Structure 1
Amino acid sequence: MKMKLIASALMMASVSFSSVATTELVNKAKAENAQQGQHNRTREAGFKATEQELKNLKAQLVAKRNKLQAQNDALAATFSENEDVLARLEEQLRLETGSLGEVFGVVRQNAKEIQNELNTSVTGVDAQSYNQQIDDVIAATTLPSMPQLTALWKAMEQQIKASGQIALTPVSFIDGEGKTQQVDVARLGAFGLVGDAGYVAWNGARQETKSYIKLPENGPTLASVSSLENGQIASVVLDPSRGVMLEQLALTPSFADRLQAGGVVGKIILGLLAIGVIIALVRGASLSVARQKIRAQLKNPDQPGNNPLGRILAVYDKEQNRTVEALELRLLEAVVDEQTSLEKGLSMLKLLAALAPMLGLLGTVTGMIETFQVITQFGNGDPKVMAGGISMALVTTVLGLIAAMPLLLAHNILSSQAEGIRNILEKQGIGLVAEQAEKATEPKTTQPVENAA
């Protein structure tokens, strides 16, 4: 019984506890729901405010777009109207100007030519009064005005007059040390400027002068040009190319430069030529002395001297008691000995004359090999790169021919002289043999035999 009461009490207690708990949960849920509803209403109000702002901004942008579109349409209409107006004006300008456009082109072309003349010609030293007007004509985008056209033909007239004048004018001169100083030069028309030492190069861009590297022989100087300025007649070396030939003159190689271009082979050829010339001079002097001694010996054959003919006569005096055949062989031996002495060195001359062209050919082949090597390395776009090898090839060929010709000529002349001396010796030897043979064949004198009575 008690147990039932306890159980009933427990059950009632649990029911009351669960009821209380449920009530608390419901109240809590209601409170949270109310709080969430308040939050949602706040957010919704914010969304609506943002939506309203965006709608206002859209309205502003649409209004601005409509305004810009209206402006664009107005500008497009204005542009179209301007194009029509411009086309009508251009057509009107073309009709009114007519051929003046071509005239304007010709005027600008002539102005550019005069400007180039002033920048490059020596007349720009002092004849340049209309430079600004010419620059204005070149830079103009409209038809030239009458003052500009007047300045243009006056500039032409000034250049024409300056080309026929000899005028003394000061210029800036750069000396060999790089120092700039003011000097007086004489302008020979449009051909060149002449200073104290000769022609000077004019730099129109920098308005200064400098000396040429090499000047022509008998070239004009400031002192010699002064006589022309005073009206006196004198010959003057002029450069009609306005300095181009004077610049090329500095590039013209001298004799030493050409020999240097021959290289080692060229020096060998010159050495052989020098040796050959020495041999030719020595042998020529020796043969000349021998001919003079032979002429003197022919005038006095009874006294043999120290010369080729004298030695032949000495052999005859020594061997004249021999038979004709033996004497002939002795004289022939002496002539052969003298011929060997006379022709000494001539074979070397002939060898050098034949060797010089071969060395020239060797230099040619060597120079061409060097040229092809340069072409392999740098290509053939720049001829200056190949000029060294080709120059060496040509110079050695010329040196070989130059060395061979005088050596061949000397060999021929000396051989002819030696041959002439040998002919004299052979002729005299044959004469001596003939004289000896005549002596051997003379009949002996005999006593007449008396007949017996």
Structure 2
Amino acid sequence: MKIEMNKGRMTVLSMLLVLSSHVQADLLKTTKQVREQQQIENRAREHAFQADEQALLKLRDQLVFKRQKLDLNIAKLTEQFSDNEQLLAQTEEKLHLESGSLGELFGVARQVAKEFQSSHEDTVSAIGEEEFIANAEFIAAAKTLPSKSHLYALWEAFNRQLAIGSSVTMLDVSYVKPDGIVINKPVLRIGSFGLIDENGYLDWSGERRGAKSYDVQPPNPPPMGVTMSHQKLATLDPSGGKLLEQLSLTPTLQERVKQAGVIGKVILVLLSIGLLIGLTQGIFLLISRLKINAQLKDKENIGSNALGRVLGVYKYDQSPNVEALELRLYETILDEQQKLERGLSMLKLLAALSPMLGLLGTVTGMIETFQVITQFGNADPKMMASGISTALITTVLGLTAAMPMLFMHNVLSTQAENVRTLLEKQGVGLVAQRAEQDVRIS
């Protein structure tokens, strides 16, 4: 049994050995095939690598050639760049030297063009010269050197202005009538001073390109038929219309009084009363002084005057003693002094009251101005003009009224004091004369 089992095992082992040998033979064969396939693939890869290497070598050679060519080109361009830089520096230096005077000329031309534009574009001398004004505007706004034609045009514009300033020319301009209708009207341009028509000077507006009559004309305006050869004197405005505008804005005395309002009228009434009082009292003092001077020359004939009344008291006095006569004379002098100083206290009061009324008008006008500012703000000066005018003009009227009244009060007071002093001297002399007579009698 064991022998059979051993035989069986041996059979199996032999079978396994045979099978193993077959497997090893197949594996070896497969390995050889794989190895041969790998060798084939490796050789194919080597051929591919060699081909790629050849291509890369060829490409490298091409790139090296290109690099060498570029290096040569770079060296050439570098040398050319250096030469160009040197040439550019030399050219820039030459350009700077040659364009230095042109730059200064350009700056002067721009400045002159700006001055020409600002001083002539709104004047009467620019009428019909729009082309030259536009050329000046172009030069003033240019960022590059102006051309020779523009410079010549600017020079020609100055020549034209000189010619216009020394000539009288008839022109057709747009004229705005008082009712607002615009018409073309022939006017006379007198140099660069202004425009005139048959009614006088015209207000020219460069912005509206039209003219209108001034509200107030100066005295003796130039006539329409005037020429530069005429010797007739005429009123000219060298400011180009500014003085004429100011003439239109200057109010008359009646307008100033109207602007002062009720307080201004009250001040004028006080001034009239003060002048009337001063004039009346001044005439009275003058007549009194003339009569007194005449009485001093002839004391025997007692007249109707202050000194005559004093002398009459002495002549017709029946006083028993000197003291009574002195009191009678003093009483008479006081009566005459009252007449001499009549109205002077009122004149002084009016002189002191006028500035106070002017101050009242000032305060009232400022209150009105601040009310306007409170309601409408301070953006429009015209709305505040009424209050400011009242505030200023009433002060001026008050001071103007006070000064002559103070002067008259001082003069009249001095005259009255002189007359009173003269009467006192005469009275003292009469008292002394009576005292001497009493001494002789006693």
Corresponding residue of 1:253: 251
Distance 1:297 1:176, change over 3 A: same
Corresponding residue of 1:158: 160
CA contact (8 A) 2:168 2:191 kept: yes
Counterparts of 1:428 and 1:132, CA distance in 2: 91
Counterparts of 2:407 and 2:418, CA distance in 1: 17
* 1:433 positional shift: 1.2
Moved more, 285-294 or 318-327: 318-327
For the pair 1:379 / 2:381, whether they are aligned, the reply is no
String of CA shifts for 1:392-414, please: whole Å, max 9, x gaps: 11111111111111111111111
Of 321, 326, 329, the match for 1:328? 326
SS in structure 1 of the partner of residue 251 of structure 2: coil
SS in structure 2 of the partner of residue 441 of structure 1: helix
Distance 1:240 1:131, change over 3 A: closer
CA contact (8 A) 1:367 1:393 kept: yes
Counterparts of 1:196 and 1:350, CA distance in 2: 53
CA contact (8 A) 2:121 2:133 kept: no
Query: What TM-score does the superposition give when structure 1 sets the normalisation length?
Result: 0.65
- Structure 2, unpaired ranges of 5+: 1-91
Residue pairs, 1:90-105, within 5 angstroms: none
* 1:251 positional shift: 1.3
CA contact (8 A) 1:111 1:152 kept: yes
Counterparts of 1:146 and 1:419, CA distance in 2: 87
Corresponding residue of 2:54: none
Residue pairs, 1:348-367, within 5 angstroms: 348-367=346-365
Distance 1:381 1:152, change over 3 A: same
Of 401, 404, 407, the match for 1:403? 401
Distance 1:114 1:430, change over 3 A: closer
Letter in 1 for 2:373: I
* 1:248 positional shift: 2.7
Counterparts of 1:153 and 1:416, CA distance in 2: 73
* 1:122 positional shift: 1.5
* 1:440 positional shift: 0.7
* 1:284 positional shift: 0.5
Corresponding residue of 1:210: 212
Counterparts of 1:381 and 1:399, CA distance in 2: 29
Counterparts of 1:133 and 1:417, CA distance in 2: 76
Residue pairs, 1:299-318, within 5 angstroms: 299-318=297-316
Counterparts of 1:147 and 1:399, CA distance in 2: 63
* 1:187 positional shift: 1.6
Corresponding residue of 1:442: 440
CA contact (8 A) 1:349 1:411 kept: yes
SS in structure 1 of the partner of residue 211 of structure 2: strand
String of CA shifts for 1:49-94, please: whole Å, max 9, x gaps: xxxxxxxxxxxxxxxxxxxxxxxxxxxxxxxxxxxxxxxxxxxxxx
Letter in 2 for 1:266: G
Counterparts of 2:176 and 2:197, CA distance in 1: 12
Distance 1:384 1:173, change over 3 A: closer
- Structure 1, unpaired ranges of 5+: 1-94, 445-453
Corresponding residue of 1:286: 284
Letter in 1 for 2:277: I
Distance 1:430 1:263, change over 3 A: same
CA contact (8 A) 1:118 1:128 kept: no
* 1:279 positional shift: 0.3
Distance 1:112 1:289, change over 3 A: closer
SS in structure 2 of the partner of residue 442 of structure 1: helix
Residue pairs, 1:104-123, within 5 angstroms: 120-123=122-125
Distance 1:432 1:129, change over 3 A: same
Of 268, 288, 291, the match for 1:270? 268
Of 244, 257, 273, the match for 2:242? 244
Distance 1:104 1:330, change over 3 A: closer
Distance 1:281 1:145, change over 3 A: closer
Counterparts of 1:428 and 1:104, CA distance in 2: 94
Letter in 2 for 1:260: K
* 1:319 positional shift: 1.0
CA contact (8 A) 1:346 1:411 kept: yes
Distance 1:377 1:319, change over 3 A: same
Distance 1:112 1:353, change over 3 A: closer
Letter in 1 for 2:214: Y
Q: What value does the CA root-mean-square deviation take over the aligned residues? A: 3.7
Distance 1:327 1:124, change over 3 A: same
Of 182, 197, 200, the match for 1:198? 200
Distance 1:269 1:123, change over 3 A: same
* 1:426 positional shift: 1.2
For the pair 1:390 / 2:396, whether they are aligned, the reply is no
* 1:316 positional shift: 1.5
CA contact (8 A) 1:129 1:155 kept: no
SS in structure 2 of the partner of residue 389 of structure 1: helix
Corresponding residue of 1:14: none
Counterparts of 2:133 and 2:403, CA distance in 1: 62
CA contact (8 A) 1:320 1:436 kept: no
Query: What TM-score does the superposition give when structure 2 sets the normalisation length?
Result: 0.66
Letter in 2 for 1:294: I
SS in structure 1 of the partner of residue 440 of structure 2: coil
Counterparts of 1:415 and 1:384, CA distance in 2: 46
Distance 1:134 1:413, change over 3 A: closer
Counterparts of 2:181 and 2:137, CA distance in 1: 32
Moved more, 395-404 or 127-136: 127-136
